[in-house]
Amino acid sequence: MSAIFFLIGCSVLIALLFLGAFIWANKSGQHDDTYTPAIRVLFEDDFPSEEKELDRQVNLGEENK
Amino acid sequence: MDKLETVQKEQTCFHCGDEVKHQTYEVDNHRFCCLGCKSVYLLLNEHQLSRYYQYNAHPGSSVKEEANRYFYLEEENISKSLLDFQDERMSIVTLYIPGIHCSSCIWLLESLHKLHAGVASSRTDFLRKEVRVTFYHQQLSLKQLVELLASIGYPPVISLQDTTQDKVEEQKNHLVRKIAVAGFCFGNSMMISFPEYFGIGAFEKDYAQLFGWINLTFALPVMFYSGSDYFVSSLKSLKQRRLNLDVPLALGILILFVRSAWEILNGTGAGFSDTLCGLIFFLLVGRWVQQKTYHHLSFERDYRSYFPVAVTKIHEGQEKTVALANIQVGDRILIRNNEIVPADAILLKGQACIDFSFVTGESVPVEKVLGEIIYAGGRQTEQIIELEVVKPVSQSYLTSLWNAPEQAERKVFFQSFSNKISRYFTPILLSIALASAFFWGSAGDAQRAWSAFTAVLIIGCPCALALSSPFTLSAVLSVFDRNGLFMKDTLAIEKMAEINTLVFDKTGTISTLSDDRFHFEGKLTAMEASMVFSVCRNSNHPQSRKIAKAFGETCRILPMSSYVETPGSGIQATIAGKDILIGSRSFAATDKDLFKVAGTYVRIDGETKGVFCVEQKWRSGLASVISNLSHGYRLHLLSGDGEKDAKALSLLFPHKEYLNFNQLPADKLSYVEKLQHNCQKVAMIGDGLNDAGALKSADLGIAVSDDVNNFSPACDAIMSGASFEKLPRFFGFAKRAMRIIYSSFVISLLYNLLGMYFATQGSLSPLIAAILMPLSTITIISFTSLATRLYAYKYHL
């Protein structure tokens, strides 16, 4: 029956992980705007990819120098 | 069917969806209503942004008003105060854009970087109607950014309040996190408690001890983190010698915790940890539901958000942009057409014709002569004028008006229903607890006395009561919201239910200055009408466009030999050798003309032919609104205008003696206060600055606005003008909502009584508590939400 200690420990630990994940999400502002992302995801994917954006910023940085 | 659709397509503007009357603006088989819409389309097309039109049909808003001038953003102090962040390369600014209304808007505003290389990225918050733009300020200044936004039809609104107020971060209570913690502990503690409910066998008694300890561990964060607000709030209210609803709640929570801890530590019982966690979880959810706010609407506006951010000052012969806060007595300032006079000042140069409609309610602009004082808040309707400031901005007539009710803070503190109840609730609860403790104590059963005392306080914890108001009122809030009435908070609905007297403002509230309806005072022959039309169709001024639109169907286009348009004054043109002047009174009217009204004057060949007046129109359904409300409410009318409409209104309103004209803003304020002194609960329904004092001092201030995102004075609720005819239903529904709260209070009392039966005998088992508490909560939540929706359906809201 000592398995019960292990099982309770496991279940509480996993639940704690989820609680931690939720609090992290809340802290990082994921619940600040709950409406716009739902629309944003429907747009066609023609945003400049992150690499391009980085390139652009690097170029700009060089220009500024 | 297909044919019909194509015909419809052709008649509406591809950009904004307005009706297209002329066929002058056409590109790529798309028709546009005006040059503004067409140029936005061309600009977007040029930057491969035409997908804007694919997400929604006619997503644009037509650029009806003249573009606002953002000259003050050149001033570094002002632009800096608007920025959220700035380093050597980047700046970040958050701009409020009321025009955001659909997914196309979001898409376009987040594609700004395609429109200008100086924009690094932009993020839209749809509900707040805000855009956060990161830009390289060496390539793009804040002013250019704002002008870019304005050029694509999304002019940001920047007010003095933004620059002077330190951006106070909203006080974050981390309520969501508290709910998460409480929910986590509630679920786990429930799971751990199940063995106890189903009965633990004798040989498993060791585990009972373990489960108890785990339960206590779960109760700790809930008690000291999630539930902390209740202790803070009840301590505060005790210090003020008032009993709010948090007092019995905190008492119940405390007793629950103490008794659970005592039982677990002594090993005498299982404790009520799961009930404690569940209680706090549900209470916090109730609190969260109640906290609904409209981020994009501001109810706490003061004079600063009405005033311009900066004005042009003349300093040693040079024009200079100065922040309004730096304007001093003796400064000379320039006010252009359509700008607001920011301080009481003397007219030095130019022709002043000031529109005070928002300040005084008087709809006819006032002409001022040189040397006369012009009060702050008026809008110049003619050319540029030069003024000398005679009073600091903060002491002008307008500002003092706004601040007046604050100085005389006579507003009675409003007690919500649950606070009223809790004044009696706590003493009764305590006396029952003490009585049962005394009963068992005198019988010599100390153990039972203690458990009866604690059980009464636990079971009497007004959890369901604390939830009935938030859930009912927030449901009402969202029903009102759907129907164009935005309440500041749930307390405003309780205030609304107690109102017995309504005070209306006239201009802008029960009547609108309808833009599209003109009437022409005077006479025009068909030939003259064609002349006026031919001249007006060439101008982009809103007034000219409206006149051209109204005449468009019947008139011919005549060739013109000359055409000169003077901004702020009017148009001078020659057709068939005849001089035509169309414009403001001083521009087009002769001195001895007969028309003494404001409007657009027409003079042909030296003779004043007449004037285009905007027609005042009663709001639709006014008569039925008034007759409906006259049962059960006393109706008053306060108008800043003269008595010209008295006859029409006395037919509508039941009491002639309650109609008041020529009311100054201060009169309105004192009128409302007089009514309040006679123990009447007054709702003021108004729109302009002239009602600001009355709106604030009334028990409930409702600001009516045709565009809810527009400026409106401080108030308890903002109502969209289109919803005016629903006013009687709004008031009726608010009363119903309070009745729902009363009934759910009775239901929760029944549950409390049932629990009391066990509690007073000292035989409250954790299982009964664990069943009763969530059951009553769920009953209340479902009853209130169902009843509210049912009544909303009945009231057609």
| CATH code of B572's domain | 3.40.1110.10
What distances in angstroms separate CA B106 from CA A48, B131, B149, B722, one per listed residue? 16, 9, 13, 26
* Host domain of residue B95: 71-158
| CA closest to B186 among chain A residues | A15
| CA closest to B192 among chain A residues | A8
Residues B717 and B623 in one domain: yes
DSSP, residue by residue, B645-667: GHHHHHHHSS-GGGEE-S--HHH
| CA closest to B112 among chain A residues | A47
Nearest by CB to B177, from A11, A26, A33: name it. Answer: A26
B449-481 pLDDT tens trace: 888 888 888 888 888 878 888 889 888 988 898
Nearest by CB to B107, from A4, A11, A43: name it. Answer: A43
- pLDDT for B1 equals 40
User: Residue B264 pLDDT more than 80?
Assistant: yes
> How far is Cα B447 from Cα B259, in angstroms, rounded to an integer?
12
Give the start-end residues of each E strand in B82-137: 83-86, 90-96, 119-125, 130-136
Residues B26 and B112 in one domain: no
Q: Is A57 on the interface with B (CB under 8 A)?
A: yes
Looking at the domain assignment, is residue B253 inside a domain?
no
Q: How many domains does chain A have?
A: 1
Residues B632 and B741 in one domain: yes
User: A48–B113: do the CB atoms touch at under 8 Å?
Assistant: yes
Q: Is A15 on the interface with B (CB under 8 A)?
A: yes
Residues B478 and B521 in one domain: no
Residues B393 and B494 in one domain: no
Is B244:B424 a contact under the CB 8 Å cutoff? no
Looking at the domain assignment, is residue B182 inside a domain?
no
Nearest by CB to B180, from A4, A22, A53: name it. Answer: A22
State the average pLDDT for chain B: 81
Taking residue B264's Cβ as centre, other Cβ atoms within 10 Å add up to: 22
Lowest mean pLDDT among B140-144, B430-434, B584-588: B584-588
- pLDDT for B646 equals 78
Residues B631 and B716 in one domain: yes
Between B690 and B372, whose confidence is greater? B372
Residues B477 and B536 in one domain: no
User: B128–A33: do the CB atoms touch at under 8 Å?
Assistant: yes
> How far is Cα B273 from Cα B775, in angstroms, rounded to an integer?
17
Please provide the distance, in angstroms rounded to a whole number, between the alpha carbons at the two ends of chain A.
Answer: 71
User: B127–A23: do the CB atoms touch at under 8 Å?
Assistant: no
Q: How many beta-carbon pairs below 8 A join chains A and B?
A: 56
Nearest by CB to B184, from A15, A33, A53: name it. Answer: A15
User: Residue B711 pLDDT more than 70?
Assistant: no
Residue of A27, A39, A42 for testing the chain B interface, max B β-carbons within 10 Å = A39
Residues of B with CB under 8 A from a CB of A: 51, 55, 89, 103, 106-107, 110, 113, 120-121, 124-128, 136, 138, 174, 176-177, 180-181, 184, 187-188, 191-192, 207, 210, 214
Q: Name which of B468, B480, B96 is nearest B292 in CA terms.
A: B480
- pLDDT for B298 equals 66
Residues in contact with A9: Cβ distance below 8 Å, sequence separation at least 6, in sequence order = none
> How far is Cα B548 from Cα B555, in angstroms, rounded to an integer?
9
Which amino acid, B264?
I
Residues B779 and B631 in one domain: yes
* Host domain of residue A24: 3-64
> How far is Cα A19 from Cα A42, in angstroms, rounded to an integer?
29
Lowest mean pLDDT among B133-137, B492-496, B536-540: B536-540
Residues from chain A that touch B51, judged by Cβ atoms under 8 A, are 44, 46
Q: Is A2 on the interface with B (CB under 8 A)?
A: no
SS in 3 state form for B365-433?
CEEECCCCEECCCCEECCCCEEEEECCCHHHCHHHHHHHHHHHCCCCCCCCCHHHHHHHHHHHHHHHHH
Torsion angles phi and psi, residue A46, rounded to 5: -125, 25
Looking at the domain assignment, is residue B273 inside a domain?
no
**SS3 at position B509:** coil
B178-233 pLDDT tens trace: 999 999 999 999 888 888 887 766 667 777 888 889 999 999 999 999 999 899 98
Residues from chain A that touch B55, judged by Cβ atoms under 8 A, are 43
User: Tokens 């320039």 map to which residue?
Assistant: B334
Residues in contact with B172: Cβ distance below 8 Å, sequence separation at least 6, in sequence order = none
B65-115 pLDDT tens trace: 555 567 778 777 778 878 888 888 888 988 888 888 888 888 888 888 888
Complex-level ipTM: 0.73
Chain A: closest CA distance from residue B474 (Å): 19
Looking at the domain assignment, is residue B430 inside a domain?
no
User: A8–B192: do the CB atoms touch at under 8 Å?
Assistant: yes
CA atoms within 13 Å, Cβ hemisphere of B105: 22
Residues from chain A that touch B188, judged by Cβ atoms under 8 A, are 11-12, 15
B303-317 pLDDT tens trace: 666 777 778 888 877
Q: Is A49 on the interface with B (CB under 8 A)?
A: no
Q: Name which of B379, B366, B364, B378 is nearest B644 in CA terms.
A: B364
pLDDT range class, residue B117, cuts 50, 70, 90: confident
B652-691 pLDDT tens trace: 888 877 888 888 777 888 888 889 888 888 999 987 767 7
DSSP, residue by residue, B519-574: EEEE---HHHHHHHHHHHTT--SHHHHHHHHHHTTT------SEEEEETTTEEEEE
Looking at the domain assignment, is residue B275 inside a domain?
no
User: A19–B184: do the CB atoms touch at under 8 Å?
Assistant: yes
Both structure tokens of B75: 């001033």
Q: What CATH number does residue B475 fall under? A: 3.40.50.1000
Residues B505 and B533 in one domain: no
Chain A: closest CA distance from residue B647 (Å): 50
**DSSP H helical ranges for B596-635:** 622-629
Residues from chain A that touch B128, judged by Cβ atoms under 8 A, are 33
Residue of A22, A27, A32 for testing the chain B interface, max B β-carbons within 10 Å = A22
Nearest by CB to A39, from B106, B138, B174: name it. Answer: B106
User: B107–A31: do the CB atoms touch at under 8 Å?
Assistant: no
User: Residue A14 pLDDT more than 90?
Assistant: yes
Residues B711 and B763 in one domain: yes
Please provide the distance, in angstroms rounded to a whole number, between the alpha carbons at the two ends of chain B.
Answer: 34
Single residue among B102, B128, B158 that ends a domain in this structure: B158
Q: How many domains does chain B have?
A: 5
B391-435 pLDDT tens trace: 887 777 666 666 655 444 444 567 788 878 888 888 888 899 999
Residues B691 and B745 in one domain: yes
Q: Name which of B36, B150, B153, B26 is nearest B542 in CA terms.
A: B36
